[in-house]
Amino acid sequence: MSNAPASVPALEVADLRKTYATGVEALKGISLTVQAGDFYALLGPNGAGKSTLIGIISSLVNPSSGDVRVFGHSVRTDRSRAMQMIGLVPQEINFNLFETPLDICINQAGFYGIERGVARERAEKYLKELALWDKANAVTRTLSGGMKRRLILARALMHRPRLLILDEPTAGVDIEIRRSMWKFIEGINAAGTTVILTTHYLEEAEQLCRNITIIDRGQVIENTSMRKLLAKLDVETFVFDVADANGELPQLADVRLARVDDHTIEAEMSRAHDLNSLFAALSARGITVRSMRNKANRLEELFVRLVEGNLGAKEAAA
Amino acid sequence: MNLQRNLIALGTIARREIVRILRIWAQTLLPPAVTMTLYFIIFGNLIGSRIGTIATDSAGAGISYVEYIAPGLIMMAVIQNAYGNITSSFFGAKFQRFVEEMLVSPMPSWAILAGYVSGAVLRGLMVGLIVLAISLFFTKIHLYHPLVTLSTFLLAAVIFALLGFVNAIYARKFDDIAIIPTFVLTPLTYLGGVFYNVAQLPSPWKEISHLNPILYMVNAFRYGLLGISDIDLTWAYLIMLAFVVVLATYCMSLLSRGVGLRS
């Protein structure tokens, strides 16, 4: 384990660039800092460069230039110490499908130089905590998708990493298991482990993460705290289920109303605008509202706007 | 990581390899036993009985054909299995992507290489002992020079484990790990003096045979078991050691650059 003081950031990424042999420029100078103990969201649309970034941090991808430091240790010049700090939960299942969960966990600990006796105790602890102990000696190819995901998480914890990187850890997992996994990871974070999360379930990132970076097309387009980011959202979209949406829609300042189908109206409105006047205007037009809901969660709304805004800016510049 | 931790990591790979070899024994240990038994029956008993003695040992006693080919068959099995073990195991780890378990760990490249080579050498040893046991049903084995026998076995197994590792690094599909054994390794083995004395070949085949590295391994091993060799033992050791150094350096270079492993 490192003797790095607590003030050293868990992760420092400095002007990181990656151009693949095919010519694809996946990262165009990414810089970010994750403080120790943080629960950090790394979001971006497909192809944004998240997996490349995580690949470089975990030394699976060679950077073209720039540096990554994990608790002060450079992945390039002090790889061994840097890797000792990191636990990786990859997006793809990447364990031997002919081995057992117990062997996979014990072997993983062995790769970090942990003695077999200690490794077995830890494997039992994590497999039990993740409800996999009854499958400890089953061949892994017989496990369900949710079990495989939990096994990857248990494996990543075997050397007690100080920085846990979760790349789509709950993809394809049912809601019950997903929630239990988040509860477990929150516990890991509360115990002092820094967590970096990438996910397409944005409500989870909103609920769990304190800080956030959004990247798109290899560049950081937002890097702030979750609270500040959500405060930026000044527009919300509501969906109204109405008795009949075919009448003329009212005209209101700061509200954009649109008919979706015969019984659905969407209202995009400033957060400063009150809903009472909208209901009154709808009522005056004889439109009866049966129910309403937010079109998307707040982070999702912001994410879409930021990414679309970035795309629009790129197209305008082109 | 310090040395002790690195050795634990290396031992973990080697242990996993042994578990794998024993788990799929019908694919790893049984086929060479069956194949070599057939070689002993056909070449040793049926054809060999008509050939009679093919050479004389240092004491002037005649050496039967089956006795002559036994060391070559053991070495052939060791070479093929050391090579096959590392190609199938390491390429399998790449294919299923669990090689990433090692790549994200702090373990250095030399420990990864040494772990896989150890597994391949251990499979070579297991298969070599099985073929040796089978050969005892057909002929007598003396073990004239135990150190030469052991060192030649180790060097040959390491050389072909390293060659297999290079093959697995560059392989992108399963065909790529089948081509070299079929079209390179097997012909070189058959032409490496397993079944005949290269000194009896006409020119230029005799000289060409000396370009085959397997010739030196087979003959050094034969010297260890029978006390006779078609080639100079010093040359055999020099060539084998040179192969180990060059191949190990090349493998380390591939691993440190991440060729075939890191994008």
pLDDT at A305: 72
Interface of A with B (CB under 8 A): 20-21, 55, 58-62, 79-84, 86, 88, 90, 92, 94-98, 103, 107-108, 110-115, 155, 159
Give pLDDT, residue A306: 74
Identify the sign of the CA torsion B112, B115, B121, B127: negative
Can you give the pLDDT at residue B114? Answer: 97
Q: Do A111 and B1 touch (CB under 8 A)?
A: no
pLDDT value at residue A317: 64
Q: Is B16 on the interface with A (CB under 8 A)?
A: yes
Do B19 and A60 make contact, defined as CB atoms within 8 angstroms?
Answer: no
Contact B8 A114 (CB under 8 A): yes
Q: From chain B, pick out residues whose CB is under 8 angstroms from the CB of A108.
A: 101, 105
Contact A107 B4 (CB under 8 A): no
**CA quadruple A185, A79, A49, A232: dihedral sign:** positive
pLDDT digits (tens, 9 = 90+) for B56-105: 777 777 888 899 999 999 999 999 999 999 999 999 999 999 999 999 99
Contact yes or no for B8 and A79 at CB 8 A:
no
Pick among A102, A111, A139, A140 to test the B interface (most B CBs inside 10 A):
A111
Cβ–Cβ gap B104/A61 under 8 Å = no
Predicted pLDDT of residue A315: 61
pLDDT (0 to 100) of residue A1: 44
- Looking at CA atoms only, how far is residue A186 from chain B in angstroms? 23
**Contact across the interface for A92 and B97, Cβ inside 8 Å:** yes
> By the CB < 8 Å criterion, does B12 face chain A?
yes
Give pairs for A204-210: CB < 8 Å, separation 24+: A204/A170, A204/A178, A205/A41, A205/A43, A205/A299, A206/A230, A206/A297, A206/A298, A206/A299, A207/A182, A208/A39, A208/A41, A208/A182, A209/A39, A209/A40, A209/A41, A210/A38, A210/A39, A210/A40
Instruction: Name the residue among B6, B106, B262 with its Cβ closest to that of A84.
Output: B106
Nearest residue in B to A155, CA atom = B101
Q: Give strand ranges (E) for A154-254.
A: 163-167, 194-198, 211-216, 219-225, 235-242
From chain B, the residues in CB contact with A81 under 8 A are 106
Q: Verify whether the Cβ–Cβ distance A96 to B98 is below 8 Å.
A: yes
Q: Are strands A163-167 and A194-198 parallel, antiparallel or unpaired?
A: parallel
Question: What does the pLDDT read at residue A2?
Answer: 45
Q: Which of these, A74, A55, A25, A84, lies nearest to B258 by C-alpha position?
A: A55
Digit-coded pLDDT (tens) for B34-61: 999 999 999 888 888 888 787 777 777 7
A187 in Cβ contact with A15 (< 8 Å):
no
> Looking at CA atoms only, how far is residue A288 from chain B in angstroms?
57
Q: Considering only CB atoms, which chain A residues are within 8 Å of B9? A: 110-113
Q: A50: Cβ–Cβ under 8 A, 6 or more apart, which residues? A: A42, A43, A44, A167, A198, A215
Chain B residues with CB inside 8 Å of A73's CB?
Answer: none
CA distance A250 to chain B (A): 57
Q: Is the ipTM of this complex over 0.90?
A: no
Q: Is B97 in the A-facing interface, judged by CB distances under 8 Å?
A: yes
Question: Angle, to 10 degrees, between the axis of helix A101-111 and the axis of helix B3-23?
Answer: 150
Mutate to test the interface with A, among B3, B12, B112 (most CBs of A within 10 A): B12
Is there a contact between B97 and A94 if contact means CB atoms under 8 Å apart?
A: yes
- Whether the bond into B204 is cis, omega within 30 of 0: yes
Of the candidates A59, A98, A115, the beta carbon closest to that of B103 is on A59
Going by C-alpha positions, the residue among A39, A115, A318 that lies closest to residue B4 is A115
CB B40 within 8 A of CB B137: yes
Distance from CA of A82 to the nearest CA of B (A): 8
Q: What is the pLDDT along chain A (318 residues), one digit of tens a residue?
A: 444 555 899 999 999 999 999 999 999 999 999 999 999 999 888 888 999 999 999 999 999 999 999 999 999 999 999 999 999 999 889 999 999 999 999 999 999 999 999 999 999 999 999 999 999 999 999 999 889 999 999 999 999 999 999 998 888 788 888 888 889 999 999 999 999 999 877 778 888 899 999 999 999 988 888 877 777 766 778 888 998 888 888 888 778 888 888 889 988 887 777 888 888 888 888 889 999 887 766 677 677 777 777 656 666 665
Nearest CA in chain B to A105: B101
DSSP A252: B
* CB contact (8 A) between residue B4 and residue A113: yes
How distant, in Å, are the alpha carbons of B50, B78, B79, B158, B224 from that of B36?
20, 11, 13, 21, 20
Spans in chain B with pLDDT lower than 50: none
Residue of B nearest to A165 (CA): B104
Chain A contact set for B98 (CB, 8 A): 94-96
Answer whether A112 sits within 8 Å of B107, measured CB to CB.
yes
Count A/B contacts: CB-CB distance under 8 Å.
84
Q: Nearest residue of B to residue A99 by CA position?
A: B20
